[in-house]
Amino acid sequence: GEIDIGVERWSENPEHILGALANYVRLGDEALAPDAQFAKGEREAEAMIASLLARVHGPRRAILRVVLGRVRALIGGREAPKFQIIRLLATPSRELLKPVGRDLVARGRLSAEDDIFFLTLPEARRAVGGEDMRELVAARRATYNREHARRRIPRLLLSDGTDAEVALVSVGEGLRGSPASPGVVSGTARVILSPAGARLEPGEILVAPSTDPGWTPLFLTAGALVMEMGGMMSHGAVVAREYGIPAVVGVAGATDQITTGQRVTVDGSAGTVVLEVGPKEEAQPVLTPTTKSGASPQPEPTVNVADG
């Protein structure tokens, strides 16, 4: 995530966000436009608040009105601690270390500028002192790339080292996970393993291993979300609810069982993903990451402010 100082920022490489903006421009239905979706969400929130207030009377209604107002006004502050850590520590640290990396490359101590992020502080000091760190970094990059290539990280390992979830949980001609955002949508699946340079057509079902803030621009064009990892409060589930699209998370093996081009039906209330039987297209290839973490370039830190 963006708290990792080795992750490239959108301000350094805006390709990802420009691609997302291009997707927005291609939205053919005005009802799917970002401003229309946000306005719809605000209307639904106001209607829900009115419904809740109608169920109580007297002092309870006044208390509920105050509490709801405060929650809506302050909920954006939940990101403030992380925002301050990134603003005061992560981003400045990256800006300080990048010139050091460039200098070490020029002096033949490193092979690439961002190799500096594979070193500890004492090791970086030794490199500045003249020690060649290229072999050490190459070994660490190889280990990192091997681990990053894992399609799925087991949530639980048994005492013999085997995966406790090797058997996929299926239902009929589909898969089962945890309901995360209500609604039922049928559409064409798009399996995306990395958001960097990803293409998602309006209304397509986003199928992903997991998501972080770098995936957020894809949600505005997605018809629904199917995610292998996560729970009700994971990033993908929260953003799906905010944008009003159905979501099913914790679907083991989703990126293996679902193929790009396949028709699927996502039921975000029941937690099921029904797969239509028929010819499948070849899945979208894994995009080679260009950043240390392999994640998409991350946005500059901002604090979300909920509508009052």
Whether the pLDDT of residue 283 is over 70: the answer is no
How many Å apart are CA 249 and CA 233, to the nearest integer? 10
- The pLDDT mean for the chain works out to 82
> So what's the pLDDT on residue 194?
84
Is 235 marked active-site?
A: yes
User: Count of alpha carbons within 13 Å of 186, Cβ hemisphere only?
Assistant: 5
pLDDT tier at 302 (50, 70, 90 boundaries)? very low
CA angle at residue 32 from 235 to 197, to 5 degrees?
Answer: 55
> So what's the pLDDT on residue 272?
94
Cβ atoms < 10 Å from Cβ of 239: 21
Question: CATH classification of 170-275, choosing from 3.30.450.40, 3.50.30.10, 3.30.750.24, 3.30.300.30?
Answer: 3.50.30.10
Tell me the pLDDT tens digit for each residue of 61-70: 999 999 999 9
User: Count of alpha carbons within 13 Å of 261, Cβ hemisphere only?
Assistant: 7
- Residues in Cβ contact with 270 at an 8 Å cutoff, skipping those fewer than 6 apart: 179
3-state secondary structure 209-244: CCCCHHHHHHHCCCCEEEECCCCCCCHHHHHHHHHC
The full set of domain ranges for the chain reads: 79-148, 170-275
Residue-level length of the chain: 308
Tell me the pLDDT tens digit for each residue of 136-160: 999 999 999 888 777 667 767 777 7
Whether the pLDDT of residue 287 is over 50: the answer is no
pLDDT tier at 288 (50, 70, 90 boundaries)? very low
Q: Which residue has the higher pLDDT, 291 or 102?
A: 102
Dump strand ranges (E) for the chain.
170-171, 174-176, 178-181, 184-191, 205-208, 224-227, 247-249, 263-267, 272-275
Q: Which residue has the higher pLDDT, 76 or 272?
A: 272
Is the dihedral angle over the CA atoms 277, 279, 282, 284 positive or is it negative? Answer: negative
Whether the pLDDT of residue 100 is over 50: the answer is yes
Among 1-5, 229-233, 258-262, 296-300, top mean pLDDT goes to 258-262
Whether the pLDDT of residue 88 is over 80: the answer is yes
Task: Give the closest residue to 108 by CA, choosing from 130, 138, 141, 137.
Answer: 130
How many Å apart are CA 247 and CA 187, to the nearest integer? 13
How many Å apart are CA 215 and CA 195, to the nearest integer? 6
Task: Give the closest residue to 264 by CA, choosing from 247, 252, 250.
Answer: 247
Whether the pLDDT of residue 289 is over 50: the answer is no
User: If DSSP codes are grouped into helix, strand and coil, which group holds residue 117?
Assistant: helix
pLDDT tier at 30 (50, 70, 90 boundaries)? confident
> So what's the pLDDT on residue 170?
54
pLDDT tier at 165 (50, 70, 90 boundaries)? low
Residue type, 247: A
Tell me the pLDDT tens digit for each residue of 185-218: 999 999 998 887 788 888 899 999 989 877 888 8
> So what's the pLDDT on residue 172?
57
